[in-house]
Structures are given as C-alpha cells and as structure tokens.
Amino acid sequence: MKRVIDIDGGARHQRAVVAALDIPAQDYTPRILLDELKMLLVNLNIDVAGEVIQRRDKPDPAYMLGKGKAEESALFCKEVKADLFVCNEQLTPGQRLNLQQILGIEIWDRPFVIMKIFERRARTTEARLQIELAMCQYEIPHLKGLGRQMSRLGAGIGTRGPGETEFERHRRKLERRVRDINERLVKVRKRRTFQRYRREKAGIPTVALTGYTNSGKSTLLQQLSHGRNLYVADQLFSTLDTYVRKVELSDGHDVLVSDTVGFIRDLPPALIAAFRTTLEEISVSSLILLVLDGSMPDVMETLDVVEETLSDIGAGAIPRLIVLNKIDKIDLSLIPFLQTRLQGRSKAKVLPICALSGVGVTELLQEVEYQLFNKMAK
C-alpha cells in the first residue's frame, strides 16, 4: 500500500483510496490503470489519499480483492482518513456490498467514476438525459443484487426481508424512468436522423473527430472553424454533445466536421448504449480524424482503445487519418519515430499537428481534401 501525503490546507474534499488488481493476463499494468483512475477522480475534485494493489490471477468473486486484503484495506483507509474506496475493476452487486460491510465507507468502481464525470459535464438536455439513462441502467442490476442480499439477511431463504421491499420499490421507479427517458430520446433520434438526411441531400461530406478524451478534438474543431461558439476546456470529457461546423477547403469544397464525446479505457457499456444517438455521427461519417495526444507516454495504447471502440460502435471500416496532436509538448526528433509506429499499427496516414497554434493544420486540411475528393475521383 502506498500513502499519499496530503498537503492541501484548504477546504476538505472527499478523500479516496484507489485499488487495482495486478492480473498477469491483462493488457495494461496496474500503474497505468491506477494513474488514469486518479486522474478521473481529480476531475471530480476528490483527493487521492493512497492506493492498494494486489496481484491475483483473477478477481475474488466475493470481494474483488481477497478477503484478507480487503480487511487490510479497511485499516489503511482509517489510517489515511479516507471516506471513499474506488476499485478500478467493475464490481458486482455482491462485491460492492461485501466491501462496504468490511470497510464501512462508500464504495465506487471505475464505470461509476466515469459516469459521475459525464454527469458533471452534461450541459444540454440531450446529454443530461443520456447520462441519466446510463446511471439508471447501471444502478438497476445493483439494486436487484442488493435486494437479494437484504432478503437473505432479513428473513431467511425464500422470504422477503424488510430491506427488499424498499429496494424493489426503488428499482421499479428507476425502470419507469428508463422507459420515460427512452421515449424522449426517440424524438431526439428522429430529429438527428432528419438533420443527417438534410446534410446528405445537400451532398456535403461529413468528417468526424474522434479520439481519447482530452486529446484536443474540440481545440482542433475550434481551429478549423475559426473559433465559432465552441466550448473548449483542458479537462476530461469536456464534450458530451455533438458539435457540427462547416469548414471550407482550399479548393472551394465544404465539409461538415463534427466533434463528439471522447473515449477512454473500459468505457462503460451503459454509456455507449445511452450515447448511441451521439455516437451515430461517427458511424455515418465519410472520414474519421482520429486525434491522439502525442505527449502521452502510452499513446500507442490509447490508439488501440479508440480503434476498438470505433469497431464496437460500427465505425471500424470508415476511412481515417491519424492526427498526432500536441507536438509542441514532445521532442520534435521523436515525431518521425511516432509517425512510423502509429502508421504501422493503424495502417492509416499520420499527420502531426498542434491544434492550439495551428501548426500542421493546413497540411491536415489538404489531406482531408485529397481523401474526400481527389482520391475518390481517381
């Protein structure tokens, strides 16, 4: 266990201990996963007081960690005065309840953290509806599992315990809310479908900006559209809605460029399902600009995450360009090496840019023009 010294003398925030499993067969090291989890919590203004790592072949079915490690974690949380325990792995209802009984504090998992950030960033009615839908769909299975646990604790096997009635009542309320939200989102989808139909009828190609969260997609769209009415922030998931702007190319052609929600490792399936309307803008585009933060040490892994997510939403076969952004933050001599590696991994052309200053953006637009018009005409 690793302690983090708290040097913040200001207002007290919620304090968390983060936990991850070191499973030999997993794709990423626990250090990468924990560092990203800490970054997610910082975006919720939660102080990270310490961390727990346990090496296991697979998660413990009852506690995620082993029971002994969970009990040890309870003492550690008291020592560092943590009131929140956050697991990188997705927890089952039983694991969540068992950990809460041992630690005596609030228990979150990574999918819940991501959804909390989405909830905080949502600014439009559509985004708020979509995140509420995802939260409901995440909570319902947990209520079912907790209801069964409370039933066994309260009145024995096969009978209804005192806690189950309340759990069932809340679950039915959430299920009604899910139905209501889906009905409202049907109207949103019809409106978006009509908007896409009008764009297709006008014959204007669409270009979708995708990438890992906080890779600079919104900054790039602001640069391409000369800063017209866009919200740009250096924070995770600053864009949850789809922003579409017309961009004029050098030969006089127009394209519509859309900026949508960013991706991240283990994006909760409930979020992908809830944001289906938003993500459809990517799956119907003519060309994808896959934006990567070149200053990230795990840039190759973020490419894999984005491409896997694109495949999951039905956009895997759409032509794409890799946009290596934030080259102002890396050693320029490394750019050719990164280009070669990324192109070898993605089989797509890689263009280095700095969206903030505009370096390389002209060359990017020339390549977009070639891909959409000149290449297709040959």
Give the tens place of pLDDT for each residue, 110-148.
Answer: 999 988 888 887 777 777 888 888 888 888 887 765 555
Whole-number pLDDT of residue 6: 40
The 10s digit of each residue's pLDDT in 252-297 is 788 989 887 778 887 777 777 767 766 777 888 999 999 999 999 8
Residue 250 CB coordination number (10 Å): 9
DSSP result, 51-114:
EEEEE-SS-BTTTBS-HHHHHHHHHHHHHTT-SEEEESSPPPHHHHHHHHHHH-SEEEEHHHHH
**Residue 95 structure tokens:** 């694991």
65-79, 92-106, 274-288: the lowest-pLDDT one: 274-288
Say if residue 167's pLDDT is above 50.
yes
24-38, 143-157, 326-340: the lowest-pLDDT one: 143-157
Say if residue 231's pLDDT is above 70.
no
Binding residues: 211-218, 237-241, 259-262, 325-328
Q: What is the mean pLDDT of residues 83-91?
A: 94
Binding residues for Mg(2+): 218, 239
Q: What is the mean pLDDT of residues 76-93?
A: 94
Whole-number pLDDT of residue 185: 82
Single-letter code of the amino acid located at 328: D
Element holding 241 (H helix, E strand): none
Binding residues for GTP: 211-218, 237-241, 259-262, 325-328
Say if residue 160's pLDDT is above 50.
no
Q: What is the mean pLDDT of residues 82-94?
A: 93
Q: What is the mean pLDDT of residues 90-107?
A: 92
Say if residue 89's pLDDT is above 80.
yes
Burial tier of 14 (Cβ tally within 10 Å: 0-12, 13-18, 19+): middle
Say if residue 168's pLDDT is above 80.
no
Higher pLDDT, 249 or 260: 249
Supply the mean pLDDT for the chain.
82
91-95, 103-107, 186-190, 368-372: the lowest-pLDDT one: 186-190
Q: Report residue 80's pLDDT band, with 50, 70 and 90 as the boundaries.
A: very high
Give the ranges where the chain is alpha helix by DSSP (H): 30-42, 67-79, 93-103, 110-121, 125-155, 162-202, 217-224, 269-274, 276-283, 299-312, 335-346, 361-369, 375-377
In eight-state DSSP terms, residue 26 is S
Whole-number pLDDT of residue 235: 44
Whole-number pLDDT of residue 16: 96
71-75, 189-193, 365-369: the lowest-pLDDT one: 189-193
Q: How far apart are CA 39 and CA 235, in angstroms?
A: 10
Find, among 299, 206, 224, 310, the residue nearest to 263 by Cα: 310
Say if residue 103's pLDDT is above 90.
yes
Q: Name the pTM for this structure.
A: 0.76
Whole-number pLDDT of residue 4: 42
Percent over 90 (pLDDT), the chain: 42
Residue 55 CB coordination number (10 Å): 9
Whole-number pLDDT of residue 287: 95
